Structure 1
Amino acid sequence: MMALVTTSPQTPPVRIPGYDEGPFRHQPELLDDHLFWQVHLHLSDTHDLEAEALLSQLLGGDTWPVFTVPLAGDHRLYVVYRALEGEAGIDYLVHHPDWDEAETLAQDDGHFMGPGLSWAELTTAADNGLPGGSTIDPHARLMLLLPAFGDDAMPDDAVERLTAAMRARTRVEAPERLAAARLAYQGEWGPTHWTTGARGYLINDGGYSFRNPANRFAWPTARLAQVASALTP
């Protein structure tokens, strides 16, 4: 069953095969809201009433906000705010038109799964400039996908890169300090080691990752290879 994301008349409907909860609504306008980023990146403290209200709206409203990022080879990455009572969270999904259903890349919730992206893959998706998604802005894409990332080998300029995005898209004080703290905290899974496996594609050793072939719930070999190719820098 295909899920339908309600959009404006100018925007083609977004369908996520195999992901049939909902109702969905494509909401790219949220990416221009500085408060959204505080919520999405867990930058707000528990006393921020505005952030609490927005989080309640995102994860407890009548619609599920959805964002999209195109990837190489006609793949697409979806970020879905799963406003399901008792099971709310954020799902990161990847899909290709030839697949029967989307694959879960990562889950940001109480039953977390991930990471789904290395640092190089994260920045590649942010910078690819491919049209057809919620935004082509690299700063917005970087922060949108950041919660799905985990990598124990970041480059020296990683904090600088995230700081620039925060300065461009948020109103937080001391963005460099917050960027460093956010990169030190890499989801519930923590920093994960990525390597090129024997078959020539990127895998990791995360105990909660679909991209660790040692896990019983890992994707099949062909899918691991295809997704890695779509995300290759």
Structure 2
Amino acid sequence: MLITGFESYPLTDGSYLLGDPVFWALHLAQIGAGGLNNLEEAFGADIVEAEELYDRMFDHDHWPAFTVPLRSTGNIHVIYRNLDGDMGLDYVLTHPDWPHDLCLAAVEGCFIGPGLSWPELVTIANQPPRSGDNTLLDAASRLLILLPAFGDADLPVAAVPTVAAALSELTTSPEPTRIAEILLHNNEAYWEPANWQQLSNGVIVCDEPHSRRCLHGSGAFTTDQAIAVTRALADT
């Protein structure tokens, strides 16, 4: 797996983690939402198992990586950047027609995001798998693996039930609806929930200045990049 900026790092296939409810508890904890500090209470995760898996997930010599294929033939790579002194969770958007890959979001101290609106998140989660896909086949897995990169101030009524259903499927949370509420509405440890709009040229942008999809952000995508990103994330 060659991804711009990660060519010399020890990326490993993280698919073996996807069937473990404890993995999902630790992954969603990266969102930094208030009220989720107790993994046993929030997700039903065994603390001893969580500590053991934590050491494997955040091993400096093995960086779990996951690939979410897109209908556009692009991919979103989700990478646990376990670099000593610079840990983070990176969301990298790739496309075979692009000269290089683009960082969509990064969950870390110097965070970048959000990278996805709610409609985009749900569209990607519900799209049928591409021919040859063998990981992240189900909508629940795609939804939750991408959730830390999301941020949207305008959520539909269906948002909480949708996330709660995914939690029920992949975790042993005793209160999936309450945890879904927290994940969606108390997730401001990094960026603020963004307001999204589509411009006349078709580009989808947001108003959160920490996002590369914000026109006025310091690290904003160029116009050509913004168009490419919008098209890559679309269900076409």
Normalising by structure 1, what TM-score?
0.88
What amino acid maps onto 2:207 in structure 1?
D
Distance 1:191 1:74 in 2: 28
Counterpart residue number, 1:58: 57
Matches within 5 A, 1:4-19: 14-19=1-6
Cα distance, 1:61 vs. partner? Answer: 4.1
* Residue identity matched to 1:217: G
For the residues of structure 2 that align with 1:37 and 1:105, how far apart are their CA atoms? 21
One-letter code aligned to 2:197:
T
CA contact (8 A) 2:65 2:78 kept: yes
Post-superposition offset of 1:44: 4.9
Task: Note if contact 2:72-2:234 (Cα within 8 Å) is conserved in structure 1.
Answer: no
Residue correspondence of structure 1 range 100-179 to structure 2 within 5 A: 100-131=99-130, 132=133, 134-179=135-180
What is the distance in 2 between the residues matched to 1:186 and 1:133? Answer: 31
1:92-111 CA-partner distances (Å, limit 9, x unpaired): 00011122321100011122
Pairing 1:224–2:226 present = yes
Secondary structure in structure 1 of the residue aligned to 2:229 = helix
Change (3 A) 1:112 1:56: farther
In the alignment, the residues of structure 2 paired with residue 34 and residue 115 of structure 1 have an alpha-carbon distance, to the nearest angstrom, of 25
Residues 140/231 of structure 1: CA separation in 2 closer, same or farther (3 Å cut): same
Q: Which residue of 2 aligns with 1:200?
A: 202
Question: 1:134 and 1:228 mapped to 2: Cα distance?
Answer: 24
Note the alpha carbon deviations across 1:96-141, whole angstroms, 9 max, x for none. 1122321100011122110000000001111112232631110010
**How many pairs align?**
220
Equivalent position amino acid for 2:18 in 1: L
Map of 2:14 onto structure 1: 27
- Counterparts of 2:151 and 2:49, CA distance in 1: 29
AA at the equivalent of 1:192: A
CA contact (8 A) 1:19 1:101 kept: no
- SS state of the match for residue 222, structure 1? helix
Amino acid at match of 1:32: G
Specify every segment of 5 or more residues in structure 1 that has no aligned partner in the other structure, as ranges: 1-13
Q: Which runs of 5+ in 2 are unaligned?
A: 30-35, 41-46
**What is the RMSD of the two structures over their aligned residues, measured on CA atoms?**
1.7
Say yes or no: does 1:77 pair with 2:76: yes
Deviates further, 185-194 or 144-153: 185-194
Question: Following the alignment from structure 1 to structure 2, what is the Cα–Cα distance between the partners of residues 198 and 49?
Answer: 53
SS of match in other structure, 1:79: strand
